[in-house]
Amino acid sequence: MTAAARTLVAVDAVSKAFRIPTVRRDTIREHLLGILQPQRFRRLQVLDAISFELREGETLGIMGRNGSGKSTLLKIVCGIYPPDRGRVERRAAVTPILELGVGWNPDLDAIDNIYLVGSVMGLSLREIRRNLDEILAFAELQPFANLKVAHYSSGMSARLAYAVAFHAVREVLILDEIFAVGDVGFRQRCEERYRQLHAQGHTVLLVSHDPRVVSSFCDRAIFIDGGRIALEGSGEDVAESYVSSLTSGSA
């Protein structure tokens, strides 16, 4: 990445809030008794005026404690959620790897699902056919290629999702906890695949709780605290600040 690298994603003063019920209704009886009593809500501000730019060829990390709005921010960047205020400008094609297994047809086997989801992600039938064996090998699912996905464990589904997405990457790759899935061998393959994509010039936006991942893979990072950017800097500096916030009890 050079100083003149163009901006591929621009996030400008993005804010997002959700309406949260103040009273839980878990049972049928509670729902029936509550029919005549209007449900009350409180406003939860998840993101508050978040701004940053993602530049061509870089990897930008996002850190923050659970509930800080990281995954919500990724969904807004991908266009899944609309922001309440602010705007996101995407100047390149985006490949999100967020909620694993979304889009699978449980009544189809792995091969049919690879064709189905791969097509949705923009792969041609020829590309899927050419990469089919490699996708199954990456996910370590060759012996289960003809097994219905309904019988897959959550780990098997996750590996298959990552394997397909890693072969359908467009210009910008958006990852949510990519290196926290599977066993050590699978995580190592994910890291190696990431390095290949980075070397090819792909731009990456990733969320991670792992200081090692952010320090090792991110050119820049931001630390979100209370829905706002508390720090923006190098991957090493942000990872160190995040760890300090955990040990000090603040954040």
Residue 4 pLDDT greater than 70, yes or no: no
Split at pLDDT 50, 70, 90, the class of 31 is: low
Question: Residue 186: what pLDDT?
Answer: 84
Question: Residue 249: what pLDDT?
Answer: 59
CATH class of the domain defined by 7-248: alpha beta
- H or E stretch covering 239: helix 235-248
Contact 16, 44 (CB under 8 A): no
CB atoms within 10 A of CB 165: 21
Domain boundaries along the sequence of the chain: 7-248
For residue 5 the two structure tokens come to: 């690298």
Residue 248 CA to residue 139 CA, distance in Å, equals 39
Per-residue pLDDT of 213-243, as tens digits, reads: 899 889 999 999 989 999 999 999 999 999 9
Strand partners for 87: 12
For residue 224 the two structure tokens come to: 């979100």
Residue 22 pLDDT greater than 80, yes or no: no
Split at pLDDT 50, 70, 90, the class of 96 is: confident
